[in-house]
A and B are shown apart, each in its own frame.
Chain A
Amino acid sequence: MAMTRRHTLVFLALGIVLGAAGLFGHRIVNRHAFVARCIPALPPLGDRPAALAESLAGAEARARSWLPATKGLAELSRLYHANGFYPEALACYEGLRRLEPANARWPHLQASIITNFGRLDEALPLREQAVALAPDYIPARLRLGDILLKGNRPADAAKAYTEVLRRAPGDPYALLGLARCDLTANDWPKARERLQEAMAQNPDNIGVLSLLVTVSEHQGDPATADSLRSVIGRREFSDLPDPWVDELSEVCFDAYRLSVAAAIANAAGNRTAALDLLDRAIALSPNASSYHRQAGQLLLDDHNYGAARNHLEKAVALNPTDSDAWLRLLDALRGLGQTQAVVSTLLTGLSHCPQSPSLHLEYARWLKSANRFDEAIAEFRYGYQLRPSEASPLVELATTYLTVGRTDEAVAALNLALERQPDHPTALATLAFIAISQNNEAEARRRWEQIRRQPKTPAAVTSSLQQAYQQQFGRSLP
């Protein structure tokens, strides 16, 4: 049958449409079958929350459906990764890498699990792939630099860090990495220069400050080292932010993991995020005292004493033997100015935690403040027996002895404290004052030499010592 040109075009168009439909259908069938084979068997969930099981079931159902299969597999990977089911997450990522070979997220997340277990050789090609696919995602480049540095390839690591700096000038983690590369080449001045640059732009990066202390000491600059030490205080290093990994906590149903994530967020300076994570931990595990204690501590750091008190009262109600929670609760009550409540809470805490050195120390301090010196001395001694490695209870014991004129016992306690902590600033200063008051100039000068080497001695204390020495001996301390 002859066909017109119009018919021809219709048939041609139809053929193309059918071909495209065939292609689309084949892709879906193919993809569906592949995704189905990538879905790991559901691991035993034990006592994990029902919400996790429901989320996993939902994600798996989507992964097994026709159209959103890849999306479902991605959801499943997030859930497994965030909740610590790493073999299952790795299987998902392996599949996702094949389904979406241009998506940098999958090799990056896969590498993040593998590197957590120390298998850096396996992770290196994944890191390289992630960088190639997402050249502007800075955490991927930094992680690549870190792997190369740890793999004893500082020159290659330096290239990775330098590339980060080209894209993100002043990045503290890149500068820290480069400084470490410099140190492997024994180039201390260059390392110092990099760290100073990093500090100038990121004065709160503890990793940078900490290494700068080391470099300053090495280069014979103890003044800078001591000054930096005081800035660092008790703050801890925090790992570099990595949004692709960090956002996994959104689907975490494990209270302990959330509490660790909260601590990391807090160390990175994000207290709001930390408190949100702890709220979720508490919702998942409402009978665990430790998450309330942790939240209470964060709120105390924020001087939000009322909210801190609420959490801490819950913590001690849930676990009356949690001596740390009792201590924090005392801090919250002091912050609220509730003096009477402090005493009654302290006594209640001690009744539940009779072996807590810190609570005994608190009680001893209260007894001392109430001029009940003999009882305070007994408490300080008991606190020291409970934790004999610490110097501070001995120093407080000594100052109590001095208050009641028992100088010899004070000196003995201070010397014992110095055995525990040879540079204890208060112990040294107190011994110097005693020497001055006893007209023992040689001993006073000996202690003064020690005090001068101890940067933690408060300026007011050194000033008082100098005045006392001047008054007693009629000349200045050197």
Chain B
Amino acid sequence: MLAWLRLAETASPPLKFIPSRRSFSLLGLVLGAALLAGCGPAGTPAPKVSAPPAVVIDTDRYTKESIGEPFEGKPWISHVNIVDLDRDGRADILACDDKLNGIVWLRQTAPGKFAESTLMAGLSSPVHVEAVDLDGDKDLDLLVSCMGEVFPNNDKIGSIIILENDGRQNFTKHIIADHITRVTDLRAGDFDGDGRLDLAVAQFGYDQGEINWLRNLGNWQFESHNLLNLSGAINVCVADLNGDRTLDIVAVVSQQWEEIHLFENNGMGQFSDKILFGSTNEDFGSSGISLCDLNRDGRPDILYTNGDGFAYADPGKRPWHGVQWLENVGGGAFRYHRIGDLPGAYAPVGVDLDGRGVMDIVCTSGFNDWKNPDAVALVAFKNDGKMNFTMHVLARAPIQLITCAAGLLDGSGKPSIVTAGFYSYPPFDRMDRITLWRPKAAR
């Protein structure tokens, strides 16, 4: 450009700028090119819409069977757990029945055959039961979390109950704490290294809630230590999560917080809190966590569902409901991975469904568009071994499932699944109380 101007100046008298046609055209082109430079996103690749993930319809995979007592009305089973309670070599099923306000035991009397009995009634809205030998007498005691009222309530009506086993599955009730914010989960672990099993407690509350650990002083006496004061705690899980050979606590907090907290233990019952994950979507709908070494690297990972649809308007699904895992990368650090979308996702369970040596994930839907007969109720996210997951639809009914467990229940050597229904909003059809899903013969 400058060279051209200099040439023009030497070829023409001063003040007589007479460009040729050729130079005029060139001027236009140069001006145009100069002005055009950097004027738009030409050549940049256009954004792409991600393709919807593949879904496999796999509804023939399991045989469905209602187990336990027949029901009338609307079942309210808030939790199921698989454990060999009587240590007879066969896994049994424990359930929290909030119509009965009690804990029921479905004893496996023969492979795949169950007989139900009530272990303890008169509990105040029990919502989680864990079996552990808390007193070291070689039988399984039951840790029972009682909300006092399942539906929203900010009163201090929760309680922590331990049912002490006499070795013959007769239970004595110990009230460890009552008149406290509503309790949703209770797990055991020796947090202070004194040889006694202590407790980690999630207290949902409503506007106020908390997460505590209770030091076991012996003789069914416990001393409470606060870890976090936020409402909406749903689950606490216990494991060595940072690889320092002491038991840590991880908890999910819902309500408006929507966070997962790791409480790292120094081995003496002193914990430091850090947030592993948090959503800024206050309607994210955290619904549960569980632990599982999903990638089989020797470190426990966190499975996490968000599918609670009990907010604002009528209960229902949200587009962001789904399943994710927090990969334990060591040293107390975790990496977030979304696994897939699932309306109303609840109760994530890690299980090797096919005996392939890779962990799959089973979970349920508690809040879906139940008017749509194609809405899914039970799914598996099958792992290809490289941590790529494909959703398999296992069942569309019964609906409104907020709990499930997986284990060896029918003598086939392959894991079965147990689900249960909690029917608190319409529609009140396609109901079942406790359902056993047994794998069909060789596929």
Q: Are A and B physically bound partners?
A: yes
Query: Closest CB-CB distance, B25 to chain A, in whole Å?
Result: 8
Query: Closest CB-CB distance, B121 to chain A, in whole Å?
Result: 10
Cross-chain contact A259 with B124 (CB below 8 angstroms):
no
Which residue of B has the minimal Cβ distance to A97? Answer: B47
Cross-chain contact A34 with B40 (CB below 8 angstroms):
yes
Partner of A118, one of B49, B99, B230, B320: B320
Q: Which of A1-9, A194-202, A406-414 is near enough to bind chain B?
A: A1-9
A143–B36 Cα gap in the complex (Å)? 37
Which residue of B has the minimal Cβ distance to A390? Answer: B149
Partner of B47, one of A5, A95, A119: A95
Q: Does B440 contact A (CB under 8 A)?
A: no
Known: A2-B18, A150-B278. A19 touches B32 (CB 8 A): yes
What 0/1 readout, one digit per residue, does chain A (19-61) give for beta carbons within 8 Å of chain B? 1101100110011011001101100000000000000000000
Which residue of B has the minimal Cβ distance to A117? Answer: B320
A420–B312 Cα gap in the complex (Å)? 26
Cross-chain contact B35 with A98 (CB below 8 angstroms):
no
Which residue of A has the minimal Cβ distance to B41? Answer: A98
In this complex, how many residues of chain B approach chain A with their Cβ under 8 Å: the count is 80
Residues 115-172 of B contacting A (Cβ, < 8 Å): 122, 124-125, 148-150, 152, 154-157, 159
A183–B230 Cα gap in the complex (Å)? 11
Q: Does A86 contact B (CB under 8 A)?
A: yes
Residues 386-423 of A contacting B (Cβ, < 8 Å): 386, 388-390, 419-423
Q: Does A128 contact B (CB under 8 A)?
A: no
In this complex, how many residues of chain A approach chain B with their Cβ under 8 Å: the count is 87
Q: Does A99 contact B (CB under 8 A)?
A: yes
Partner of B314, one of A33, A147, A290, A419: A290
Cross-chain contact A41 with B49 (CB below 8 angstroms):
yes
Partner of B157, one of A91, A322, A422: A422
Which residue of B has the minimal Cβ distance to A207? Answer: B256
Q: Which residues of B contact A40 (CB under 8 A)?
A: 49
Cross-chain contact B31 with A15 (CB below 8 angstroms):
yes
Residues 1-51 of B contacting A (Cβ, < 8 Å): 15-19, 24, 27-29, 31-32, 35-36, 39-42, 44, 46-50
Sorted nearest first, the 10 A-B pairs with minimum C-beta distance are A150-B278, A37-B46, A94-B47, A19-B31, A263-B312, A22-B32, A19-B32, A30-B40, A23-B35, A15-B28
Binding site for B on A (CB under 8 A): 2-3, 5, 8, 11-12, 15-16, 18-20, 22-23, 26-27, 30-31, 33-34, 37-38, 40-41, 84, 86-88, 90-92, 94-95, 98-99, 115-121, 143, 146-147, 149-152, 183-184, 206-207, 210, 213-215, 217-218, 225, 229, 232, 234, 236-237, 239, 256, 259-260, 262-264, 267, 290, 294, 321-322, 355, 386, 388-390, 419-423, 456
Excluding A19-B35, A95-B47, 10 further A-B contacts by CB distance (< 8 Å) are A8-B17, A31-B40, A34-B40, A117-B322, A120-B336, A214-B230, A229-B208, A260-B312, A355-B73, A419-B124
Binding site for A on B (CB under 8 A): 15-19, 24, 27-29, 31-32, 35-36, 39-42, 44, 46-50, 52, 73-74, 76, 98-101, 122, 124-125, 148-150, 152, 154-157, 159, 178-179, 207-208, 210, 226, 229-231, 255-256, 259, 273-284, 306, 311-314, 316, 319-320, 322, 324, 336, 338, 426
